[in-house]
Amino acid sequence: MIHGSMVDRLCAWLEDNIKAEVGDSAHIDLWASLPDGRNVIFEIKSGGPSMHEQLRKGLSQLYEYRYRYRDALSAPSLYLVLPEELPHEWLSDYLCTDREINICFLRNSQTEPEFHRLCPNPVRP
């Protein structure tokens, strides 16, 4: 239920504020084509007993989706959407700086994502 709510809120924000074309697939939680021509893929993690494990899974999923959908979504930026802050600061540096994964937070009933300060390509209206 939490996952579906996060997908719906992010989708509505992208359509209403960014004017993006959005969609999903059998694999991808949410993708978007932005008005500036960029393509983005969002993997949404709603939490669970081990956030570290969720991050590992999300990272590998994003790389897989970028490869599998390379013909449909050329050179997409990758976004990991989380319901809470990362448990360790080194994870932010690793994901954003080293892996060039954009991290954004979508907490509880929040309707607008917050992009981590190290995020290489935040989506802005």
Residue 87 is predicted with a pLDDT of: 85
Q: Where are the domains of the chain?
A: 2-115
Quote the pLDDT of residue 19. 98
Measured distance CA(15)–CA(4) in Å, rounded: 16
Residue ranges for the chain with pLDDT beneath 70:
none
Q: What is the pLDDT of residue 78?
A: 98
Q: What is the pLDDT of residue 37?
A: 95
Q: Which CATH architecture has domain 2-115?
A: 3-Layer(aba) Sandwich (3.40)
Instruction: Supply the DSSP string of 87-124, one letter for each residue.
Output: SSHHHHIIIIIIS--EEEE--TT--SPEEPTT-SS---
pTM: 0.94
Tell me, what's the pLDDT at 22?
98
Report how far apart, in Å, the C-alpha atoms of 25 and of each of 32, 42, 65, 89 are.
11, 11, 10, 32
pLDDT at 48 (0 to 100): 76
Give the chain's length: 125
